[in-house]
Amino acid sequence: MSVLMDGELESLLREDLPHFDLTTLYLGISEERGTARLVARSKGVLAGVEEAAAVYEKVGASAECLMRSGLEVVEGSVVLEARGGAGALHAAWRVAQALVSYMSGVATYTRLMVEAARRVNPRVVVATTRQTPPGFRRLWLKAVLAGGGVVHRQSLSDEILLFRNHLVFAGGRGLGEVVRSLKARVGYKRVGVEVGSLEEAFEAVEAGADYVQFDHVDPATLRSWVSRLRSEFSAVSIGVGGGVDLENVGDYAATGVDVIVTSAPYHAKPLDFTTLFSRQP
């Protein structure tokens, strides 16, 4: 199922086709019937094929997903087939191909991070942030899920996560006092706190925090801190974020944290796809 709404599809298409497709128009081929096949040129994890199909259907073509998001593709895999007039096919193909290419890049990088982390710590969760390119959050988050990751927070409305920047406006109250105040107000909802030291982590947990997330701590130091924190608070959930990518995710997984928070998949290289056309007799 596509996560794109009708207006979003129109906006994506309008960006590439503000008026007319001059080439197709002057060639006089708009009504000629044909088929477009979206083909992988490299190995990876597929994402966005449902959105690509919706793009084709929006311009009046028919489209069939031959594979679904989350499946692995290899060079030569045909993931989508669309049929319609040449005008419709040319209006849709670049937008559709770009969506699959970028989203599959995110999904592939996510899968690689998850696999690298779980080779070391089978129970660790790789979670991505809400720091997606503006306007593309739902697409990028869908790609993360296709790659086997989870979403740390979809938006500010999801859960409570206290940052140092919040404390700037806390009227001089300390971290522990702010956490106790939040716990008293929010009822059953979890309270998470970003911390930069073991001392801050102890202060937050002693005040009732359910989750602490260490920020920009090197793996060797983090391993020691996780061990000391768990020795006194075995039930607390522990995460780490800041600078975690495919190169070091295994090191962070080995520290014993529950959650690794990252934005690295959003900067992944797009997976290579091409679109092949054929004319219907």
CATH of the domain spanning 120-267: 3.20.20.70
**52, 100 in Cβ contact below 8 A?**
yes
Q: Which of 68, 147, 82, 76 is nearest to 109 (CA)?
A: 147
Q: What does residue 159 show for φ and ψ, rounded to 5 degrees? A: -155, 175
Provide the pLDDT for residue 187: 81
Mean pLDDT of 156-165: 92
Average pLDDT of span 194-204: 97
Nearest-CA neighbor of 278 among 26, 78, 87, 37? 37
| Superfamily of domain covering 6-111+269-279 | Quinolinate phosphoribosyl transferase, N-terminal domain (3.90.1170.20)
The tens digit of pLDDT for each residue in 24-53 reads 999 999 999 999 999 999 999 999 999 999
Region class of 84: left (phi > 0), else alpha (psi between -120 and 50), else beta: left
Which residues does 154 contact at the CB level (< 8 Å), separation at least 6? 130, 137, 141
28 to 32, 62, 91: CA distances (angstroms): 9, 21, 14
Averaged pLDDT, 212-241: 96
Answer whether residue 281 shows pLDDT above 80. Answer: no
Q: How confident is the model at residue 158 (pLDDT cuts 50, 70, 90)?
A: confident
Q: Quote the pLDDT of residue 148.
A: 97
The domain ranges of the chain are 6-111+269-279, 120-267
For residue 280, what pLDDT is reported? 87
pLDDT at residue 123 tops 90: yes
Confidence class of residue 206 from pLDDT cuts 50, 70 and 90?
very high
The whole-number average pLDDT for the span 120-144 is 95
pLDDT of the residue at 1: 84
Amino acid, res. 46: L
pLDDT at 234: 92
Tens of pLDDT, residues 79-95: 999 999 999 999 999 99
Instruction: Report residue 171's pLDDT band, with 50, 70 and 90 as the boundaries.
Output: confident
